[in-house]
Amino acid sequence: MESQEKIKIRVCQGTTCFVMGASRLEGLETQIPPQWRQKVEISAQPCLGMCQKAGFMKAPFVRIGDEIIGSATVDSVLEKLSGIFK
């Protein structure tokens, strides 16, 4: 468990995601429960390319590990994480 790689969380800060609500994810870092903090690494990234593939209506996008979630909110990111860490 100890040597496990951190789960990478990439919050899209591309233009489409930002306009369609990415600033709602601003507080994400602080809302990760303490027991998970060491296990994740959060950063912002310009356009993940999903706005073209999946459509702007699904923005904002967040990549968690290899998976991308659309219409992302702090809650939906935390839910995904709880699935990973259960």
Partner 1 sequence: MPTETNTVLLRREVIVRLIKGFLSDSFRKRADDLPFDMRPKYAEVPFRCCIHKERAILRERAIAVLGASVEQDDDKTPLGEYAQKSLDRKAPDQTVLTVVETACQGCTPNRIYVTDLCQGCVARPCTSACAFGAVSIKNGRSVIDGSKCKGCTKCMQVCPYGAIVKIKVPCEDACPVGAIAKNEKGHAQIDFSRCLSCGACVARCPFGAVAEKSQIIDILKALQSDKKVVALLAPAAAGQMPVGLGRIASGLIKAGFDAVLEVAQGADITAKTEAKDFQERMERGDSFMTTSCCAAYRELVKKSVPELRPYVSDTATPMHYTAQLAKRKYPDCVTVFVGPCVAKRMEGLQDGYIDYVMNFEEMGALFVALSIELSACEEYVFETPSSKQGRNFAVTGGVAESIRVAGSTGVSDFRPVCVDGLNAKVIREMTLWAKKKATVPGNIIEVMACTGGCVSGAGCLNNQKAAAKKVTAYAEQGAELTPDPANGELEKK
Binding mask 27-66 for partner 1 (x = CB under 8 A): -----------------x-xx---xx---xx-x-------
Strand 67-69 to 7-12 pairing: unpaired
Token pair listed for 74: 């702090």
48 binds, among partner 1, ligand FES, none (CB under 5 to 8 A by kind): ligand FES
Q: Indicate which single residue of 18, 39, 63, 70 sits in contact with partner 1 (rule: CB under 8 A).
A: 18
The alpha helices in 4-69, defined as continuous H runs, are 15-19, 28-31, 34-37, 50-53
Contact residues toward partner 1 (CB under 8 A) are: 13-16, 18-21, 23-24, 26, 44, 46-47, 51-52, 56-57, 59
